Chain A
Amino acid sequence: MNYTYFPGCSLEKNAACYDASTRAVAAQLGMQLTEVEDWNCCGATEYVSLNLTAAYSLIARNLAQASKNTSTHELVAPCSACYLNLRKCDKVLGQDPKFAGRVVQALAAGGLSYKPGTLHIRHLLDVLYQDVGLEALAAKVTKPLRGLRVAPYYGCMIVRPEFHDGGEDPEAPTSLDEILKALGADVVDYPLKAACCGGHMTQISEATGFDMIHRLVKSAADLNADLIATLCPMCQLNLDGFQGAMNRHFGSHFHMPVLYFTQLIGLAMGMSMREMGIGEEIVDARAALSRIGSEMAAEAAEPKRPRKDDKALPMPAPLKRA
């Protein structure tokens, strides 16, 4: 399993623990990650708001750099925004030859080129779920996360407009749920699993941004989750970094730790908290993690089951995915 790896700006510093845990877990699972040589920022959602050709040329430079690694066509990004930008750019360049022509000209000015469709661009979650697989993952678990109630949080940009090459529902994805279950965690049926964290909204309109963070944290707390598992540095920054400011804004007292799913995988595989960068989060996760292994906690936290009552009407069974 050989991949070109695009860490992205966040993983350099504010999400360094995501980068560290990804590399550590990947090594354990037999994945070889080769970092894209001299990559640049993907432009997030900001550049496309200002200049379309420049925004796509900025992203295309990364595709050009990544395609220099000819040993594989698989490009993996752990950041949802980077993933979406890289993937969208590759797709748009393939679909709109006129626009692609402009981007090709811009790249040429920097002595680079990229042929759309060369790379298969994927998110880390997709790679762990499909290439590594649940069985191989479960086989590596030495310290199951039993007793830990985790709210699986996907956010937006990984599942929408499409994810898993269209194989996951954009409203109700399940791959992270399944991975966390394979780690032994008690996975919460989190209704806001694919809702938005607000992106840069705290910097545009505080009230709007805090409200979006509040919804997510409140829902996880309502469902007695011990922590939220995320796979996007923007989501982590909003839910973790701004949780205190959000609490002050609402007069609330939530304490909901937010960890990267790779950190939880690493812990379950027996790696240390230190290796996984636990402690770098603003909302301390240690108390929540201490519940691992306590079966009692898990049972106590179970939501009340509906009373068995003869009069209750049957519910439709969950839809089986084709």
Chain B
Amino acid sequence: MTEEIRIGVYICHCGSNIAGTVDVEEVARWAGHLTNVISSRDYKFMCSSLGQEMIEKDIKEKGVNRVVVASCTPHLHELTYRNALARAGLNPYFFEMANIREQVSWVTTDRVEATKKAEALVAAAVSRVAWHEALEPLFVPIDPNVLIVGGGVAGIQAALEIADAGNHVYMVEREPSIGGHMAQLDKTFPTLDCSACILTPKMFNVGNHKNVTLMTWSEVEKVDGYIGNFTVTIRKRARYVDTGLCTGCGVCEEKCPKKVVDDVFEAGVGHRKVVYRPFPQAVPNYPVIDRPNCTFFQKGTCKACEKFCPTGAIKFDQQDEVLTVKVGNIILATGWDLFDARRIPQYGYGRIRNVFSSMEFERLSNAAGPTGGKIVMRDGVSVPKSVGIIHCVGSRDKHYNNYCSAICCMQSLKFAHLVHEKTGAQVHNFYIDIRTPAKAYDEFYQRVLDEGTIFIRGKVAEISDSPRTAEEEGKIIVQVDDSLAGRQRRIPLDMVVLSAGLEPRHDAKEVAIKFGISCSADRWFMEKHPKLDPVATMTDGVFVAGVCVGPKDIPASVAQGSAAAARVLSIIGQKEIQIDAATAIVNEESCVGCKECIPSCPYQAIEFLEDKRKAYVREALCKGCGTCVGTCLSKSISLRHFTDDQLVAEMIGAMTAMKMFEQAQTEVA
């Protein structure tokens, strides 16, 4: 170190967030005496433009060449201050942040202790920053193509925004058609638009867009690469239908002699053929053959579909196809699974005939569903005279899902309205709390109240088919603590609908691992910041939208689809992207070529240079996690910005401060 180290220290009050607990003036005064510190100040909001100017001014006028800011987490403002350094002509890596908010003021109540801890953290940062080196950020080009996983309404929205902007979209969907759960619904709250009517035009646009390659009945197998340069391996499962020849005429479906219960699109309450499109407006309009149920595949005879297909499109020998595409960004919009109400045996679903799930009810009420839109009981004929709708099934409950599923209140109110309108039955809604916090939602609640729905506040305890009285004979009895009336009640009804909650996809964890993102404890995908960066993830170039991040309704899912598209378009617009310079580097002189580091890297960023017999870190892939540094037996890998010298200096700084406090204590005593 030839140049003179001149450190500026800046202590942020963060309003009263820090200053309320930490004596910030005292910290600034104390830090002024530390080695190499030539300026030490405190200020109300260091992140404000005035705060930043204070730093820039010290750099220019006082010759400060290293900067320490003690404020919040680097997550929030490290970039802010690095930019301030750059503006003043200093390398942005000559900067260190001490977190005295999350790690001190928010978690410490004692003012003296908090102040001491803040001082120790500042001392650590001051000691460390002296060892910082100038680093140059890396730029990589962005591939403008985009992968969207999941063809529900969130994915559809994102796809159209990106494709309309002139970029190519690969959309991968697991089911035979796009449309997602929204395609199954009857009406949508609170406006009661027909779900299919508003969704199918968008589905059609995706299917026919010149900038969209649609791959349904397909799944992503592997993802390699990094922001701007992903290589994605996709398996297109065999449809046993040549989509080049198929015209979507539907004759095969008509002639197929075998019917099975449709557990997916019809939610188990209707049937489909073995060669099928989930619904008539499916996009694409080609059918698939359900191989495990197909008579030909099981017994070797039948082939009715092949016989009647006018274009010879049925191909029993079709194989899965594996292909790779290159994209710069990825949006995951993989949606949700319905909570399986059979997990609550006391609700009788699967045992008591006229207990229905919410998705079964949607299909009953849907004009394109198995009953042609008639709300009838399990016999397919009888119209119920009394219906109970149970909120919060599987939600807000530690035994199942502890979170609120967000859509069930409005969905249940919609069900109440539809039952009234279509059957005239008396409707009871059983709820814990009614949650209607969006535009025109509470007005809808008022409308349903006005229609005569009876609301009972209480989480349903059990649903019984064991009558106690003559009145209960032949009925389904809902037993509940009517908490506003203050007594236990048993209400005999003809039909019960369970508003089951939303759950992460059963394979959400595996998908998260595949795309290098993380899940929260309840398995929803983790966003980068729940408020300020809700559609990004901690992995650059991988975005999330819709319910796969957490329960939300259609308007919110669509908004996230658009938001994710906007984030992706902004990256594409930059043409190239800056990568953090804090990456690992191999010292080729000492590397022995043992390859231990290669499998240790979670980002596949290390390759082996066969010619030199040395490991090599691809900087664009490296996330600076440091795993390889710990793995390397010959100590040949170091992490820029986290070198041993820097870390040791940081510890010495902290420990020296602690020692000083101890001595002061002894002197007082």
A/B contact in complex, CB under 8 angstroms? yes
Query: Which residue in chain A gives the minimum CB-CB distance to B267?
Result: A316
- Write 6 A-B pairs (CB below 8 A) sorted by A numbering: A171-B345, A171-B346, A172-B345, A312-B380, A313-B269, A314-B270
Q: Return chain B residues, CB-CB under 8 Å to A306.
A: 353, 379
Q: Is the Cβ of B340 less than 8 Å from the Cβ of A319? A: yes
Q: Select B379's contact among A191, A218, A312, beta carbons within 8 Å.
A: A312
B351 within 8 A of A: yes
Q: For A189, A312, A316, which residue has the most chain B Cβ atoms within 10 angstroms?
A: A316
Q: Select B378's contact among A218, A312, A318, beta carbons within 8 Å.
A: A312
Closest-CB distance, A67 to chain B (whole angstroms): 34
A219 within 8 A of B: yes
Q: Return chain A residues, CB-CB under 8 Å to B340.
A: 319
B602 within 8 A of A: no
If the complex has contacts A172-B345, A215-B468, are A313 and B350 also in contact, measured as CB distance less than 8 A? no
A135 within 8 A of B: no
Q: Is the Cβ of A313 less than 8 Å from the Cβ of B270? A: yes
Q: Return chain B residues, CB-CB under 8 Å to A191.
A: 464-466
Q: Is the Cβ of A319 less than 8 Å from the Cβ of B350? A: yes
B57 within 8 A of A: no
Docked CA distance A317–B351 (Å): 9
B384 within 8 A of A: no
Query: Which residue in chain A gives the minimum CB-CB distance to B266?
Result: A314
Q: Return chain A residues, CB-CB under 8 Å to B467.
A: 222
If the complex has contacts A312-B379, A312-B380, A313-B378, are A192 and B466 also in contact, measured as CB distance less than 8 A? yes
Give chain A interface residues in 137-172, CB to chain B under 8 Å: 169, 171-172
Query: Which residue in chain A gives the minimum CB-CB distance to B268?
Result: A316
If the complex has contacts A191-B465, A192-B466, A215-B466, are A316 and B342 also in contact, measured as CB distance less than 8 A? yes
A→B interface (CB under 8 Å): 169, 171-172, 189, 191-192, 214-215, 218-219, 222, 306, 309-319
If the complex has contacts A215-B468, A218-B468, A313-B370, are A318 and B380 also in contact, measured as CB distance less than 8 A? no
Q: How many residues of B sit at the interface, in one of the four size bands?
A: 20 to 34
Q: Return chain B residues, CB-CB under 8 Å to A315.
A: 350, 353, 378
In the A-B complex, the 4 residue pairs with the smallest Cβ-Cβ separation, listed nearest first, are: A311-B380, A319-B342, A172-B345, A171-B345
B→A interface (CB under 8 Å): 261, 268-271, 340, 342-343, 345-346, 349-351, 353, 357, 364, 370-371, 376, 378-381, 464-468
Q: For A172, A310, A313, A315, which residue has the most chain B Cβ atoms within 10 angstroms?
A: A313
Closest-CB distance, A61 to chain B (whole angstroms): 35
Q: Is the Cβ of A316 less than 8 Å from the Cβ of B380? A: no
Q: Return chain B residues, CB-CB under 8 Å to A312.
A: 378-380
Q: Return chain A residues, CB-CB under 8 Å to B381.
A: 309, 311
Describe B's contact surface by its main secondary structure: loop
Closest-CB distance, A166 to chain B (whole angstroms): 12
Docked CA distance A218–B381 (Å): 30
Query: Which residue in chain A gives the minimum CB-CB distance to B352?
Result: A191
Q: For B271, B342, B357, B466, which residue has the most chain A Cβ atoms within 10 angstroms?
A: B466
Query: Which residue in chain A gives the minimum CB-CB distance to B347?
Result: A171
Docked CA distance A227–B465 (Å): 20
Docked CA distance A189–B466 (Å): 11
Closest-CB distance, B472 to chain A (whole angstroms): 11
Q: Is the Cβ of A309 less than 8 Å from the Cβ of B343? A: no
Q: Return chain A residues, CB-CB under 8 Å to B261.
A: 314
Closest-CB distance, B266 to chain A (whole angstroms): 9
Closest-CB distance, B471 to chain A (whole angstroms): 14
Q: Is the Cβ of A319 less than 8 Å from the Cβ of B343? A: yes
Closest-CB distance, A268 to chain B (whole angstroms): 27
Query: Which residue in chain B gives the minimum CB-CB distance to A171?
Result: B345
Docked CA distance A191–B348 (Å): 9
Q: Is the Cβ of B379 less than 8 Å from the Cβ of A222? A: no
Docked CA distance A115–B538 (Å): 49
Q: Is the Cβ of A219 less than 8 Å from the Cβ of B466? A: yes
Q: Is the Cβ of A318 less than 8 Å from the Cβ of B351? A: yes
Q: Select B349's contact among A189, A218, A314, A316, beta carbons within 8 Å.
A: A316
Q: Is the Cβ of B379 less than 8 Å from the Cβ of A309? A: yes
Query: Which residue in chain A gives the minimum CB-CB distance to B467?
Result: A222
Docked CA distance A312–B261 (Å): 12
Docked CA distance A88–B352 (Å): 34
Q: Return chain A residues, CB-CB under 8 Å to B364.
A: 313
Q: Is the Cβ of A316 less than 8 Å from the Cβ of B379? A: no
Docked CA distance A5–B9 (Å): 74
Closest-CB distance, B139 to chain A (whole angstroms): 50
Closest-CB distance, B356 to chain A (whole angstroms): 9
Closest-CB distance, A115 to chain B (whole angstroms): 31
